[in-house]
């Protein structure tokens, strides 16, 4: 499927707007992967391995969990914009 891309492979068949939507999909996919990974690490610091970290680190991890969860949602919206712009109806 076209909208599961993580790199821009073949750009010869696209016009400029399709290329921009493809870049939105790629950017959204990467944003979702990176923000999910960081949020998962923050959750592990906060709840799984809290005895190994200082209170300041745990507070930062709590705040970062919220921020990176929000960034994940922004990445999903960016991906949806790209998929919709290319004419797909399934997100």
| pLDDT 10s digits, 23-45 | 999 999 999 999 999 999 999 99
On whether the CB atoms of residues 21 and 86 are closer than 8 A, the answer is yes
Rounded average pLDDT over 65-75: 98
Helix, strand, coil share of the chain (percent; to 5): 75, 0, 25
On whether the CB atoms of residues 51 and 40 are closer than 8 A, the answer is no
Angle between helix 55-85 and 16-43 (nearest 10): 160
pTM: 0.85
Distance CA 58, CA 49 (A): 10
> How many Cβ atoms are within 10 Å of 60's Cβ, its own excluded?
15
């Amino acid at each position: 499927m076209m909208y599961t891309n993580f790199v821009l492979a073949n750009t010869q068949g696209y016009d400029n707007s399709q290329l921009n939507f493809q870049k939105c999909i790629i950017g959204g996919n990467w944003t979702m992967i990176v923000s999910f990974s960081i949020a998962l690490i923050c959750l592990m610091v906060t709840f799984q391995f809290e005895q190994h970290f200082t209170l300041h680190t745990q507070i930062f991890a709590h705040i970062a969990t919220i921020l990176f969860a929000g960034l994940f949602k922004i990445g999903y919206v960016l991906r949806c914009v790209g998929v919709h712009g290319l004419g797909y109806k399934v997100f």
